[in-house]
Amino acid sequence: MNEPIDDDTFEDWVWEAIDAMPAPFREQLGSVAITVEDWPTPEQLARLRAPGLYGLYEGVPRSRLSADSTPVPSRITIYRGPCLRSATTIEGVRDRVQDTVRHEIAHHFGISDARLHELAEERHGA
């Protein structure tokens, strides 16, 4: 991609994805810290056995009993570097960022990667 994307624009896309969610879901994100980092750490990649990450949810999903009383708040991190490398257009990067935000928020609500994959296949008619 030839055009640089500044940090403010990238973060605006994160907030657009959150703002576009239905209110009942947005209202349950109050205890979730949402941050943007440049890259996942080697330790995170090793722990998850992942070659790369666009985003990461860390915490106790709301679907688990007593999720509201956990001593540590949940955290969603969106990784700028992988998202920027994932597309050749600004629109493509924006889509990647917003898809990643929705994906990580889904984990906050207890939806697994396997189920998210199933839902994506259903949505795309596969």
Cα separation, 44 vs 50, whole angstroms: 8
Q: What pLDDT is recorded for position 102?
A: 94
The answer to whether residue 99 sits within a structural domain is yes
Residue 110 lies in a domain: yes
> What is the Cα–Cα distance from 79 to 76, expressed in whole angstroms?
10
What domain count does the chain have?
1
56 is written with which tokens? 């990461």
Is 2 domain-assigned?
A: no
Per-residue pLDDT, 126: 58
- Are residues 86 and 40 in contact, defined by beta-carbon separation less than 8 angstroms? no
Taken in order 109, 112, 118, 120, the sign of the CA dihedral is positive
CATH code of residue 87? 3.30.2010.20
Residues of the domain holding 113: 7-123
Is residue 1 situated within a structural domain? no
Q: If you search the block for the tokens 């994160």, which residue do you land on?
A: 14
| 52: DSSP letter | -
In this prediction the pTM is 0.87
Residue by residue, pLDDT tens for the chain (126 residues) are 667 899 999 999 999 999 999 999 899 888 899 999 999 999 999 999 999 999 999 988 877 656 556 567 799 999 999 999 999 999 999 999 999 999 999 999 888 888 888 888 888 775
Cβ–Cβ < 8 Å for 83, 39: no
Helix axes 90-108, 113-123, angle to 10 degrees: 130
In a domain, 93, yes or no: yes
In a domain, 69, yes or no: yes
